[in-house]
Amino acid sequence: MAQLRRTRGRAALPYLLLLPALAAELLIHLVPMVVGIVMSFKQLTQFFIRDWSTAPWSGTANYRMAVDFHAPVGQALLNSFWVTCAFTVLSVGLSWLVGSTAAIMMQDAFRGRALLRAAFLLPYALPVFAAVITWSFMFQRDTGLINHVLHDQLHLVKQKPFWLIGDNSFTALLTVSVWRSWPFAFLTLTAGLQNIPRELYEAAAMDGAGVWQQIRRITLPSLRPVNQVLVLVLFLWTFNDFNTPFVLFGKAAPKAADLISIHIYQSSFVTWNFGSGSAMSVLLLLFLLLVTAVYLFATNRRRGADD
């Protein structure tokens, strides 16, 4: 390493190695994002999309409309924001819980473990559209599997509930989301578990530690670095997820399941108001940057303390 660093003429090498990545990010993400920010200050409606450089500047009007929580637009955005937060917290939490439970339970070898592990990876491997459209088929009120089981077979409910409209749509969305993302948590945590030396458990068992104590004292602390990465990644994916609600509900999601990505899509593409859609996106971006910065700062500091 020291040698590498000392070599002259190679100072440019790391930059050359980074160049393709930088160029791609610049072209696909950063430049369009800057344009998006510019758009958010314009009154970019259907009258101007043919040549949006002629769209009049609207100052902060788009932002003011988005955060005016007394007017319907702001109210709807705020509602969508809270729905998204609740959805993200629950989905990430449940995915993590289910994933780690399964990973811990499958830590020891038993007959059929390999088969089960393969089965558990299926939701992650199925294409989003195929998986989610199947769920929407299952959630249909009159002809779906869910109500058939709940109502016709188990008699758990008196009346068939709606899943794709109304308040239950939140539950439906959460179910699909957890179904899709817990295998990733499972996979990651399984990988993490494999790095825990077996001797630790043996030593603990000798000390008379039971199952819970082994999990609490050995498993969970060893998984902490994995969890840090996992939770952040799941958070970002879930918060920005567009594919799942779009396939499940189409262009207009029910209020209870109106995730922010769909909400912004509706505010820009469906109602042709790209300025206001962009303003909402910028607000969303700022929020995500803030959360991630806080998260990274917290975890970095801890890592610093560990060193």
Partner 1 sequence: MINPPAWFRRLRRLVLLLLTVFTLTPVAVMLSSSLKPLQDVQGPWRWVPSHLTLRPYLDIWTTVPLARYFTNSLIVAGSATGLSVLIAVLAGYAVSRYRFRGRRLFTVTVLSTQMFPGILFLLPLFLLFVNIGNFTGLALYGSRGGLILTYLTFSLPFSIWMLVGYFDSIPRDLDEAAAVDGCGPLRTLAQIVVPAAIPGIVAVAVYAFMTAWGEVLFASVMTNDQTRTLAVGLQGYATQTDVYWNQVMAASLVVSLPVVAGFLLLQRYLVAGLTAGAVK
Partner 2 sequence: MRTHRLPAALALTASITLTATACGGGSTSAGSNSSPKTLTYWASNQGTSLENDKQVLEPELRKFEQQTGIKVNLEVIPWSDLLNRILAATASGQGPDVLNIGNTWSASLQATGALLPFDQATFDKIGGKDRFLPATIASAGAAGKDPAAVPLYSMAYGLYYDKKLFQAAGIANPPATWDELVADGKKLTTGSQYGLAIEGGNVSENVHHAFTLGMQHGTGFYDAAGKPQFDSPQAVAAVKQYVDFIAADKIAAPGNAEYAANQSVTDFATGKAAMLMWQAAGANLKSHGMNPDDYGVAPIPVPVGATGSQATSSMVAGINLAVFKNTKNLDGALNFVKFMTGDDEQKVLNSTYGNLPPVKSVQADPAFATPELKTLAGVLQGSAAPLPQVASESQFETLVGTAVKNLLAAAAAGQPVTEASVKAELTKAQQQMPAS
Given partner 2, partner 1, none, residue 92, with its beta carbon under 5 to 8 Å by kind, binds: none
Q: Is 208 helix (H, G, I), strand (E, B) or coil?
A: coil
**Which 16-35 residues touch partner 2, going by CB under 8 A?**
26, 30-32, 34-35
Site string for partner 2, 46-85 (x = CB under 8 A): xx-xxxxxx----------------xxx--x---------
Tokens found for residue 48 = 């101007």
Site string for partner 1, 14-33 (x = CB under 8 A): xx-xx-xxx-xx-xxxxxxx
- Interface with partner 2, residue 269, by CB under 8 A: yes
- Interface with partner 2, residue 272, by CB under 8 A: yes
H-assigned helices in 106-147: 113-125, 128-138, 145-147
The residue within the footprint of partner 1, chosen from 76, 79, 174, 242 (CB under 8 A), is 242
Number of chain positions touching partner 1 (CB under 8 A): 108
CB neighbour list of residue 10: distance below 8 Å, 6 or more residues apart: 4
Given partner 1, partner 2, none, residue 252, with its beta carbon under 5 to 8 Å by kind, binds: partner 2
Tokens found for residue 304 = 């610093």
Q: DSSP per residue over 187-201, as a string?
A: HHHHHHHTTS-HHHH
With tokens 């319907």, the residue in question is 72
Pick the closer one to partner 1 by CB: 109 or 305.
109
- In eight-state DSSP terms, residue 58 is -
CA distance 226 to 298: 15
**Which 182-241 residues touch partner 2, going by CB under 8 A?**
none
Given partner 1, partner 2, none, residue 73, with its beta carbon under 5 to 8 Å by kind, binds: partner 2
Please state, as a whole number, how many other Cβ atoms lie within 10 Å of the Cβ of residue 289: 10
CA distance 67 to 77: 8
H-assigned helices in 159-265: 169-193, 198-206, 211-214, 220-222, 224-239, 243-249, 260-265
CB neighbour list of residue 199: distance below 8 Å, 6 or more residues apart: none
- Interface with partner 2, residue 164, by CB under 8 A: yes
Residue type at 86? A
The residue within the footprint of partner 1, chosen from 161, 168, 285, 295 (CB under 8 A), is 285
Q: Please, how many CA atoms are within 13 Å of residue 39, restricted to the half-sphere of its CB? A: 24
Given partner 2, partner 1, none, residue 85, with its beta carbon under 5 to 8 Å by kind, binds: none
CA distance 97 to 101: 6
Pick the closer one to partner 1 by CB: 70 or 110.
110
- Interface with partner 1, residue 191, by CB under 8 A: yes
Q: Which stretch binds partner 2 (CB under 8 A): 80-88, 113-121, 263-271, 291-299?
A: 263-271
Pick the closer one to partner 2 by CB: 162 or 201.
162
> What is the contact surface with partner 2 in residues (CB under 8 A)?
26, 30-32, 34-35, 38, 45-47, 49-54, 71-73, 76, 140-143, 160, 162, 164-167, 250-252, 254-255, 266, 269-273
